[in-house]
A and B are shown apart, each in its own frame.
Chain A
């Protein structure tokens, strides 16, 4: 029996993009369902009653929620192709640690960059760059966080890169000037079909954020 895979998602979500990327890496066919977050579908509310959030992966009728949990699930079920996590327990722990670090820091800081002004925004920008520099240090001289191939941390982080243009524009700063190695890594990732087909156009994302700012009454 063929696998039935459905992804409930919202196009600008960097979390949803992680799942798209993992599915693409594994070469999996799936049905993509776009959610209107102001009018959530009965399916989303049924499949993620606890958080009512995207992304949700529905595999043969069974839902999995939380993007990094979904990515690990995909990696474990379709373990024969393009493994995202290493096999060594210590290296797996390091990958999980850094993916968790991305989750703990980047979304909130990024949000503050486009939605606040003055000192709050400056502090967020400074911290954001510090986080990226730390990640740059972790990347070191490797082509990818996963080593020779993209791995779990690459998947966790690269989806934020299509939001960088929006952050830079609304925050009035240059990420490349501060973190050239990291930007080089994002370009390297984008050369892969799985990445370029899973990430959104940064200009579209910029337009989306502009719309959000208008709606929230932020100039």
Chain B
């Protein structure tokens, strides 16, 4: 029986894009379904009744939800080009940092886009501390995954989204070479990676998306 792989996602979601990276790294053919989050399809609601969110991977009719859960599922189902280490300790470390990104960096990144003044300054400092913490984990490796992209690099795609958002809103650049020499270099490698760069939202459209969603211009919506 032929494999049937479907991905329900949205073009601007980093969580959705993570799944695209993983499937492409593994060379898995899939059908992509773009969801309209203000008018969710019956299929999405059926496949993820608990959270009603994207991304959802549907493999031969069976749905998997939550991006990090999906990434592990993909890695265990298509075993070549592994994204997680095989050693249990190394795997635990990778899971720890992916969770750190989702539990700490993501909420701070969304907060910085909607806050103003002193609050925004405070959140920006928080993000800088988080990036410093992440940077120390790189420890001279090309990627968090070692020689090639791994679980943590894929999860860290949020940083790409944060930087585009900051540019769109005219905010101070956060990931500067001066402040983060090691992480900055990693970032360049990440966005230059052949597979990763196919899975980033088209730049102009992405900038426009942030301007409309978070921009504080007086133009009416």
Chain A residues packing against B (C-beta within 8 Å) = 50, 59, 62, 64-66, 69-70, 72-73, 76-77, 89-90, 92-94, 96-97, 100-101, 134
A70 touches B92 (CB 8 A): yes
Is B133 an interface residue, CB under 8 A from the partner? yes
Is B76 an interface residue, CB under 8 A from the partner? yes
Given contacts A73-B89, A77-B88, 4 further A-B pairs with CB under 8 A are A90-B62, A93-B73, A97-B66, A97-B69
Query: How many angstroms from the CA of A70 to the CA of B62 in the assembled complex?
Result: 28
**Nearest CB of chain B from residue A184's CB, rounded to whole Å:** 23
**Nearest CB of chain A from residue B193's CB, rounded to whole Å:** 26
Is B72 an interface residue, CB under 8 A from the partner? yes
Query: How many angstroms from the CA of A178 to the CA of B81 in the assembled complex?
Result: 47
Query: How many angstroms from the CA of A100 to the CA of B99 in the assembled complex?
Result: 11
B73 touches A92 (CB 8 A): yes
Is B52 an interface residue, CB under 8 A from the partner? no
The answer to whether residues A134 and B50 also contact, given A90-B62, A90-B64, A93-B69 and a CB cut-off of 8 A, is: yes
Is B24 an interface residue, CB under 8 A from the partner? no
Interface size class for chain B?
A: 20 to 34
| 6 shortest interchain CB distances as A-B pairs | A89-B76, A76-B88, A93-B73, A73-B92, A93-B64, A96-B69
The residue in chain A whose Cβ has the minimal distance to the Cβ of B91 is A76
A92 touches B92 (CB 8 A): no
The answer to whether residues A92 and B72 also contact, given A73-B89, A100-B66, A134-B50 and a CB cut-off of 8 A, is: yes
The answer to whether residues A92 and B50 also contact, given A66-B99, A70-B92 and a CB cut-off of 8 A, is: no
The residue in chain A whose Cβ has the minimal distance to the Cβ of B48 is A97
8 A Cβ contacts from B136-167 to A: none
Q: Which of B77, B99, B133 contacts A89 (CB 8 A)?
A: B77
The residue in chain A whose Cβ has the minimal distance to the Cβ of B59 is A90
The residue in chain B whose Cβ has the minimal distance to the Cβ of A95 is B69
Query: How many angstroms from the CA of A93 to the CA of B50 in the assembled complex?
Result: 15
B72: chain A residues within 8 A (beta carbon): 92-93, 96
**Nearest CB of chain B from residue A19's CB, rounded to whole Å:** 12
12 A-B contacts (beta carbon < 8 Å): A50-B100, A64-B92, A69-B95, A72-B91, A72-B92, A73-B88, A73-B92, A90-B64, A92-B76, A97-B64, A97-B69, A101-B50
B88: chain A residues within 8 A (beta carbon): 73, 76-77
Is B96 an interface residue, CB under 8 A from the partner? yes
A72 touches B95 (CB 8 A): yes
Contact indicator per residue, chain B 59-82, by CB within 8 Å of chain A (1) or not (0): 100101110011011001100000
Q: Give the one of A70, A100, A134 with max B CB within 10 A.
A: A100
Q: Give the one of A70, A77, A90 with max B CB within 10 A.
A: A90
Query: How many angstroms from the CA of A76 to the CA of B87 in the assembled complex?
Result: 9
A97: chain B residues within 8 A (beta carbon): 50, 64-66, 69
Q: Which of A66, A93, A101, A134 contacts B70 (CB 8 A)?
A: A93
